[in-house]
């Protein structure tokens, strides 16, 4: 569903002619997302969408790769703000969109300030663990902060069964496109907060950057009044906060020796214990893509990042070499590289005037994912040289 929502919002904000069917389709899926896939708020687990629901015709709500889902959700909300703010439709306004976006961005800060929670306050795998109990907004994050005890979620997911009949458990008896009642919380193995696999990885950051890039593109660069759930209002600069997230995550990936200063291996993502994360730790091949994407999100810090975080041409060439692939043994790595290239426009000018869009099609066509990333790159960088047709939507 995240691809459908993000794709439709890109179509709506990049074209002058808006079909009624696209708008109706968008708002249908947005209501479904809000009502059945997340709970908005600031408590643990809130404002981070679940990955799927009723998968394989089950009654389960599933959680996995939560920061990827969060990145796409942030991107959708940023595009929605842009769409509504330029619309003459007075029925829908930006208040709820800004509220959701605020809690989504703050959800990332919540999962970033994880050093004071399990497993980082208790390390059963290694002798003589360091004592880590100071939550720090530093760029290292857990994938989610769902509180799980003996495979049972402490988070109130029953509230996501809004107006659903508990006796119906078959999609044949539901309205087309709607979920049915869920009473089981399914957690992928890596989703327990007591498992070190919960730690950040490259792909989580890459997809998060897509959402942050949309915030940079779609939101104004000034404080905006946001109405919180308790009715109070605050002033909040969305672009500054997105920039802060991008800067901190990039800095941590580059040199994550936060607690072990004697470790001087750059572009290796480490846990607060100093050990490489279980998955996606070695980021050298994608370093240039991360730097260029973060440079887009942070505006004026681009030159500093390029100079400080890259050494010579080696890392640049490693990332740009991926633009030559027509297929990859790992489609997840390909998708991650395409996301970074689209945000940072970092596959352009490989030879003369060849654009990133061309290589996005070249790499992603076999996976049928090129259309979305080309549209994203086009919108972010005002690139009119595109390599897809409207029919591909």
- Condensed to tens digits (0 to 9), the pLDDT of residues 174-187 reads 665 666 556 555 44
Q: Average pLDDT, whole number, for the chain?
A: 78
Cis peptide before 369 (omega within 30 of 0): no
Is the confidence at residue 389, as pLDDT, over 50? no
Q: Any idea which residue has 């490489």 for tokens?
A: 276
Question: What SS3 class is residue 295?
Answer: helix
Higher-confidence residue of 211 and 144: namely: 211
Tell me what the mean pLDDT of segment 240-251 comes to: 95
Is the confidence at residue 125, as pLDDT, over 70? no
**Which range has the top average pLDDT, 64-68, 151-155, 183-187, 333-337?**
333-337
Q: So what's the pLDDT on residue 154?
A: 46
Write the pLDDT tens digit of every residue in 5-55: 888 888 888 775 556 778 888 998 898 888 888 889 998 888 998 876 755
Q: Quick one: pLDDT band at residue 192, thresholds 50, 70, 90?
A: very low
Q: So what's the pLDDT on residue 173?
A: 55
Report the share of the chain in percent with pLDDT over 70. Answer: 68
The conformational region for residue 220 under phi > 0 = left, psi -120 to 50 = alpha, else beta, is beta
Where do the domains of the chain lie? 2-244, 281-393
Is the confidence at residue 171, as pLDDT, over 80? no
Q: So what's the pLDDT on residue 72?
A: 95
Q: Which residues contact 211 (CB under 8 A, 6 or more apart)?
A: 70, 71, 72, 73, 74, 75, 78
Q: Which residues contact 257 (CB under 8 A, 6 or more apart)?
A: 263, 264, 265, 270, 274
Is the confidence at residue 384, as pLDDT, over 60? no
Tell me what the mean pLDDT of segment 236-262 comes to: 84
Q: So what's the pLDDT on residue 80?
A: 94
Tell me what the mean pLDDT of segment 328-351 comes to: 84
């Amino acid at each position: 569903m995240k691809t459908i929502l993000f794709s439709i919002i890109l179509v709506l904000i990049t074209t002058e002619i808006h079909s009624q069917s696209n708008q109706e389709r968008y708002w249908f899926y947005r209501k479904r997302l809000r009502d059945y896939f997340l709970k908005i708020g600031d408590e643990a687990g809130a404002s981070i969408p679940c990955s799927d629901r009723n998968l394989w015709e089950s009654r389960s709500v599933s959680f996995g790769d939560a920061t990827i889902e969060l990145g796409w959700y942030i991107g959708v909300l940023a595009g929605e703000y842009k769409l509504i703010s330029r619309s003459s439709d007075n029925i829908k306004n930006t208040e709820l969109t800004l509220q959701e976006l605020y809690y989504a961005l703050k959800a990332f800060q919540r999962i970033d300030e994880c050093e004071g929670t399990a497993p980082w306050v208790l390390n059963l795998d290694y002798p003589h663990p360091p004592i880590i109990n100071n939550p720090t907004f530093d760029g290292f994050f857990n994938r989610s902060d769902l509180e799980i005890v003996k495979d049972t979620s402490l988070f109130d997911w029953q509230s996501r069964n809004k107006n659903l009949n508990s006796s119906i458990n078959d999609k044949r008896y539901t309205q087309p496109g709607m979920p049915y009642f869920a009473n089981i919380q399914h957690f992928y193995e890596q989703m327990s907060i007591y498992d070190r696999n919960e730690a950040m990885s490259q792909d989580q950051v890459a997809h998060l950057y897509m959402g942050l890039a949309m915030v940079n593109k779609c939101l104004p660069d000034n404080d905006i009044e946001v109405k919180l759930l308790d009715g109070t209002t605050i002033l909040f600069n969305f672009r500054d906060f997105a920039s802060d997230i991008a800067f901190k995550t990039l800095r941590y990936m580059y040199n994550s020796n936060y607690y072990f200063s004697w470790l001087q291996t750059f572009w290796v993502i480490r846990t607060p214990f100093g050990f490489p994360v279980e998955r996606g730790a070695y980021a050298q091949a994608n370093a240039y893509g991360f730097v260029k994407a973060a440079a887009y999100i942070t505006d004026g810090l681009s030159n500093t990042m390029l100079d400080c975080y890259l050494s010579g041409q080696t890392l640049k060439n490693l990332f740009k070499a991926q633009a030559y692939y027509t297929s990859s043994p790992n489609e997840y790595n390909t998708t991650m590289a395409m996301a970074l290239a689209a945000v940072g426009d970092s596959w352009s000018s490989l030879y003369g005037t060849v654009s990133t869009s061309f290589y996005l099609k070249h790499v992603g066509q076999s996976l049928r994912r090129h259309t979305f990333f080309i549209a994203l790159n086009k919108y972010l960088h005002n690139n009119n040289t595109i390599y897809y047709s409207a029919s591909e939507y």
